[in-house]
């Protein structure tokens, strides 16, 4: 698949940085841990890994290339066994031993791929294997590995001439220290390797091939409607990366940002898709790009009349947190200066409270500061987008959607860059808040989740009518999604929307036993702004649920006369439920 992707490109020069085969780095590190124990069969664990690579090579390479690959692999495994023997003797591995061993996965994957690509022979020019340990020089500091650019560039020039034509196949993850000792770029460092080589080679673009379609507007596990963001600025990508959109690490972006090289995030398993472009000046109509949550967080609130107009309170507060080694995620202070609050990872709440109480011990005793409160179990919701700067109505939309979802906001922060609105909500409501805000920006407010009960004479015709109008209505900003169809014994539920041409077949093939509660719960997906249940039965039992549905915020549409022809108090109760919940009850077909 990777070779296909490469062969489809018409660039005369490309470099490909590969990580290890899946799970190999973990397995290699596992070997080191195993060797630190007195027992444990190192030999058989090495053998297993060797066999896996041999099998891959046997499948992909010709006999002679396979033999050559195997000879090198065998030698590496003997070397690994030697290092592990030392580890076993002293019962503790050093960091550099760990680095040496964990880097073999990339050596093996790239050697295999380079051989494979060469043998396929479908790309003009040379296929050159590059061992990144001979190129990338880094110095490990408290902020991670710092690339020594000029030394690395010199090294690369010695291996690759300026007019090289063809493909470079480069090991990800591994590097060398300034003292010439083998090291790595940290776990999942191959993306970083990619971007380092992009910078060293002065590439016109960097593509990160991953297993998702791109950077998503929200976590798809929480928001099934999350969409691939077409374009992002470097800053937006940094903001989203920070807030847990794990697709690209800020460290990976850095070499590209410094040289203004665009980065694409694309899916190896769906190369026809465009993916996400991350660059300096994206053209995109979207003001809000992504919405994410971070949790669990704690909110610490320092409150007291004694702080008003007194300079230096914030300095002392955050100084105390710095001394305690606590990094603050969000800060907010109202202009009255009566209180100041900040959010931190929940795991650090106890230490933070201690640090703050200790710093303001005297003021707390004298009553100049009344209290230090800590709220636990909270989430931060962040709304990110460069386009919010100078635009109006964005914050209004955010808070409106939260208000409509009955979620209360505990604290708010927006920097002057206007690139990020962050707010703190109760952790219990984090997913709901995320969906509500996502729906406000990514879905039309007029998106309807529809469940139809009783696809008989009337129901069938209605479904056909919806099918014939759905496109036209979408152009008018009304998005009808029939997500559930329930017959008398079976029902069909679909996450996106049921194909209204094929539903009878789908109901027969993919339907399940009718469960009305499950049906209604599915139709009322809380990431879609509105839910409508259409009852096309003549059943009194189904009609008996209207009141409950209306009270739960579900609109009811029906030609069924049962609810309107029973006892008057029941009818009044039903109308009252609709009025209280603000839902529609529409009958007479």
Whether the CB-CB separation of 535 and 453 falls below 8 Å is answered with yes
Our CA angle for 84, 87, 90, nearest 5°, is 155
In the complex, least distance from residue 103 CB atom to Mg ion, rounded to whole angstroms = 13
Size of the site for Mg ion (CB under 5 A): 1
d(CA 548, CA 583): 11
Q: Give the DSSP letter of residue 311.
A: T
In the complex, least distance from residue 249 CB atom to Mg ion, rounded to whole angstroms = 12
d(CA 577, CA 287): 38
Q: Which residues pair with 18 in a beta bridge?
A: 171
Taking the least distance from each CB to Mg ion, the nearer of 21 and 253 is 21
Q: Which does 187 bind (CB under 5 to 8 A by kind): Mg ion, ligand ASP, none?
A: ligand ASP
Taking the least distance from each CB to ligand ASP, the nearer of 186 and 271 is 186
Helix (H) or strand (E) holding 432: helix 430-442
**Given 173, 243, 503, 527, the residue binding ligand ASP (CB under 6 A):** 173
In the complex, least distance from residue 185 CB atom to Mg ion, rounded to whole angstroms = 12
Per DSSP, the three-state class of 43 is helix
Q: Which of 3-11, 19-27, 35-43, 338-346 is the region at the interface with ligand ASP (rule: CB under 6 A)?
A: 19-27
Taking the least distance from each CB to ligand ASP, the nearer of 102 and 313 is 102
**Given 51, 75, 78, 187, the residue binding ligand ASP (CB under 6 A):** 187
Closest CA to 238 of 278, 199, 206, 205: 278
In the complex, least distance from residue 206 CB atom to ligand ASP, rounded to whole angstroms = 15
In the complex, least distance from residue 188 CB atom to Mg ion, rounded to whole angstroms = 5
Taking the least distance from each CB to ligand ASP, the nearer of 256 and 430 is 256
Q: Which does 105 bind (CB under 5 to 8 A by kind): ligand ASP, Mg ion, none?
A: ligand ASP
Whether the CB-CB separation of 220 and 279 falls below 8 Å is answered with no
Q: Which does 134 bind (CB under 5 to 8 A by kind): ligand ASP, Mg ion, none?
A: none
Q: How far is the CA of 441 from the CAs of 138, 275, 406, 527, in angstroms?
A: 42, 20, 18, 12
Q: Which does 100 bind (CB under 5 to 8 A by kind): ligand ASP, Mg ion, none?
A: none
- Exposure of 537 by Cβ count < 10 A (0-12 exposed, 13-18 middle, 19+ buried)? buried
Taking the least distance from each CB to Mg ion, the nearer of 148 and 195 is 195
Taking the least distance from each CB to ligand ASP, the nearer of 93 and 554 is 93
Taking the least distance from each CB to ligand ASP, the nearer of 24 and 485 is 24
Taking the least distance from each CB to ligand ASP, the nearer of 30 and 559 is 30
Taking the least distance from each CB to Mg ion, the nearer of 16 and 298 is 16
d(CA 422, CA 342): 12
Q: Which does 173 bind (CB under 5 to 8 A by kind): Mg ion, ligand ASP, none?
A: ligand ASP
d(CA 52, CA 24): 10
d(CA 210, CA 191): 10
Q: Which does 198 bind (CB under 5 to 8 A by kind): Mg ion, ligand ASP, none?
A: none
DSSP 386-398: GGGTT-SSHHHHH
In the complex, least distance from residue 201 CB atom to ligand ASP, rounded to whole angstroms = 19
**Alpha-carbon 304 to chain mean position:** 40
d(CA 309, CA 298): 27
Q: Which does 172 bind (CB under 5 to 8 A by kind): ligand ASP, Mg ion, none?
A: ligand ASP
525 binds ligand ASP (CB under 6 A): no
Q: Which of 17-25, 38-46, 412-420, 545-553 is the region at the interface with ligand ASP (rule: CB under 6 A)?
A: 17-25
Taking the least distance from each CB to Mg ion, the nearer of 245 and 450 is 245
105 binds ligand ASP (CB under 6 A): yes
Size of the site for ligand ASP (CB under 6 A): 10
Report the residue closest to Mg ion, judged by CB: 19
Taking the least distance from each CB to ligand ASP, the nearer of 182 and 539 is 182
**Given 6, 16, 17, 25, the residue binding ligand ASP (CB under 6 A):** 25
Spatial neighbors of 448 by CB under 8 A, at least 6 apart, are 478, 479, 480, 481, 528, 529, 530, 531, 532
d(CA 455, CA 252): 53
Taking the least distance from each CB to Mg ion, the nearer of 18 and 411 is 18
Taking the least distance from each CB to Mg ion, the nearer of 192 and 527 is 192
20 binds ligand ASP (CB under 6 A): yes
Q: How many CB atoms lie within 10 A of CB 225?
A: 18
Q: Give the DSSP letter of residue 291.
A: E
* Terminal-to-terminal C-alpha distance of the chain: 54
- Exposure of 368 by Cβ count < 10 A (0-12 exposed, 13-18 middle, 19+ buried)? middle
Q: Which of 63-71, 182-190, 488-496, 518-526 is the region at the interface with ligand ASP (rule: CB under 6 A)?
A: 182-190
422 binds ligand ASP (CB under 6 A): no
**Given 188, 400, 444, 539, the residue binding ligand ASP (CB under 6 A):** 188
Closest CA to 189 of 175, 211, 212, 172: 172
Q: Which does 214 bind (CB under 5 to 8 A by kind): ligand ASP, Mg ion, none?
A: none
Whether the CB-CB separation of 583 and 531 falls below 8 Å is answered with no
Phi-psi region of 91 (alpha: psi -120 to 50; beta: other; left: phi over 0): left
Closest CA to 96 of 49, 131, 129, 133: 133
d(CA 556, CA 535): 7
d(CA 13, CA 330): 45
Site string for Mg ion, 17-56 (x = CB under 5 A): --x-------------------------------------
**Given 16, 118, 176, 189, the residue binding ligand ASP (CB under 6 A):** 189
- The residues that touch ligand ASP, with contacts defined as CB under 6 A, are 19-20, 25, 105, 172-173, 187-190
- The residues that touch Mg ion, with contacts defined as CB under 5 A, are 19
């Amino acid at each position: 698949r990777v070779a296909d992707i490469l062969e489809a490109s018409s660039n005369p020069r490309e470099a490909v940085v590969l990580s290890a085969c899946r799970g190999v780095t973990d397995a290699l590190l596992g070997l080191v841990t195993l060797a630190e124990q007195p027992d444990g069969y190192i030999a058989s664990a090495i053998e297993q890994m060797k066999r896996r690579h041999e099998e891959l090579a046997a499948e992909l390479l010709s006999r002679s290339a396979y033999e050559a690959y195997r000879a090198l692999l065998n030698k590496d495994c003997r070397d690994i066994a030697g290092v592990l023997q030392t580890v076993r003797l002293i019962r503790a591995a050093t960091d550099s031993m760990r680095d040496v061993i964990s880097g073999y996965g990339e050596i093996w994957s790239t050697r295999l791929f380079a051989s494979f690509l060469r043998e396929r022979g479908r790309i003009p020019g040379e296929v050159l294997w590059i061992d990144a340990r001979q190129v990338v020089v880094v110095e490990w500091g408290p902020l991670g590995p710092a690339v020594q650019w000029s030394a690395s560039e010199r090294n690369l020039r010695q291996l690759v001439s300026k007019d090289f034509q063809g493909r470079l196949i480069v090991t990800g993850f591994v590097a060398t220290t300034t003292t010439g000792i083998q090291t790595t770029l940290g776990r999942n460092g191959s993306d970083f390797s990619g971007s380092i080589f992009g910078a060293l080679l002065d590439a016109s673009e960097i593509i990160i091939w991953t297993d998702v379609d791109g950077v998503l507007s929200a976590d798809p596990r929480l928001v099934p409607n999350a969409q691939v963001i077409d374009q992002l600025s470097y800053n937006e990508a940094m903001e989203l990366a920070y807030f847990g959109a794990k697709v690209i690490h800020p460290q990976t972006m850095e070499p590209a940002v410094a040289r203004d090289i665009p980065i694409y995030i694309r899916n190896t398993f769906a190369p026809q898709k465009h993916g996400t472009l991350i660059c300096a000046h994206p053209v995109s109509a979207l003001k809000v790009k992504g919405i994410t949550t971070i949790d669990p967080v704690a909110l610490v609130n320092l409150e007291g009349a004694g702080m008003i107009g007194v300079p230096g309170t914030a300095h002392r507060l955050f100084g105390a947190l710095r001394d305690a080694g606590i990094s603050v995620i969000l800060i907010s202070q109202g202009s009255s200066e009566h209180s100041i609050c900040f959010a931190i990872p929940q795991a650090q709440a106890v230490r933070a409270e201690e640090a703050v109480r200790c710093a303001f011990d005297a003021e707390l005793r004298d009553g100049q500061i009344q209290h230090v409160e800590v709220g636990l179990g909270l989430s931060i919701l962040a709304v990110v987008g460069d386009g919010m700067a100078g635009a109006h109505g964005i914050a209004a939309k955010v808070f409106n959607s939260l208000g409509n979802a009955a979620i209360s906001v505990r604290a708010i922060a927006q920097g002057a860059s206007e690139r990020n609105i962050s707010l703190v909500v109760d952790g219990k409501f984090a997913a709901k808040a995320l969906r509500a805000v996502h729906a406000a920006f990514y879905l039309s407010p007029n998106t309807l989740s529809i469940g139809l009960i009783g696809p008989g004479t009337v129901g069938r015709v209605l479904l056909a009518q919806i099918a014939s109008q759905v496109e036209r209505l979408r152009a008018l900003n009304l998005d009808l999604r029939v997500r559930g169809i329930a017959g008398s014994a079976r029902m069909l539920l679909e996450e996106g929307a049921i194909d209204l041409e094929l539903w009878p077949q789908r109901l027969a093939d993919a339907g399940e036993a009718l469960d009305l509660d499950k049906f209604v719960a599915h139709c009322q997906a809380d990431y879609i702004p509105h839910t409508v249940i259409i009852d096309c039965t003549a059943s009194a039992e189904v009609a008996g649920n209207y009141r409950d549905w209306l009270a739960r915020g579900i609109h009811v549409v029906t030609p069924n006369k049962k609810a309107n022809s029973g006892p008057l108090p029941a009818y009044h109760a039903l109308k009252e439920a609709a009025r209280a919940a603000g839902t529609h009850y529409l009958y007479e077909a």
